[in-house]
Amino acid sequence: MKKTIIFFLFTGVLTFLLSCSSSEVAESFPYGNFSYKSFNFVGELVGEGGLYISRIDSNTVEGNWAIRDIKNCTVCGPQYGLGYLTGRIEGDSMYINLNPDNPENYVELVGELSNGSFSGDWRWFKTVVASNRGTFKAVKM
């Protein structure tokens, strides 16, 4: 009887400790809404909107985005309007493709996840013309 009580007590404490650490890990993943701003290579604001990370499976990321063109940037690629996003997480870095259905003309966000934010560089890749780049900052809401 004493062994049974000790076993259940140990199991209960272990379950409690594991559930606490699991919630901390889940909260550190970049689920949810991010307020987003993009800047051209000279630092001018060119885009503003939001990113929504709706699913993370292992290191794969999926979600949606809505970004409006602030400066009428014709050389910033297809990063304005609405769209579906995919990406991956590698360590503290996240790589997001804003146009996964168009491998010949897309914008990729490459940045670091830190303290509730995702910031780094955006890159426009187009096979016919030269690409362009700038910076971005996305803050979790």
Tell me: pLDDT of 8 over 70. no
For residue 88, the SS3 value is strand
With a pLDDT cut of 70, the percent of the chain lying above it is 77
Cα 21 → chain centroid: 22
Residue 23 and residue 72: Cα distance in Å, rounded?
42
For 103-138, give one letter per residue: b (16+ CB within 10 A) or e.
Answer: eeebbbbebebeeeebebebebbbeeeeebbbebeb
Question: What local confidence, expressed as pLDDT, does residue 7 receive?
Answer: 37
pTM of the complete model: 0.76
Average pLDDT taken over every residue of the chain: 81
Q: Taking residues 89-111, report their average pLDDT.
A: 93
Q: Taking residues 34-52, report their average pLDDT.
A: 95
Q: Taking residues 121-135, report their average pLDDT.
A: 85
Options 3.30.559.10, 3.30.360.10, 2.40.128.120, 2.120.10.10; which CATH number does 31-140 get?
A: 2.40.128.120
Q: Domain residue spans in the chain?
A: 1-30, 31-140
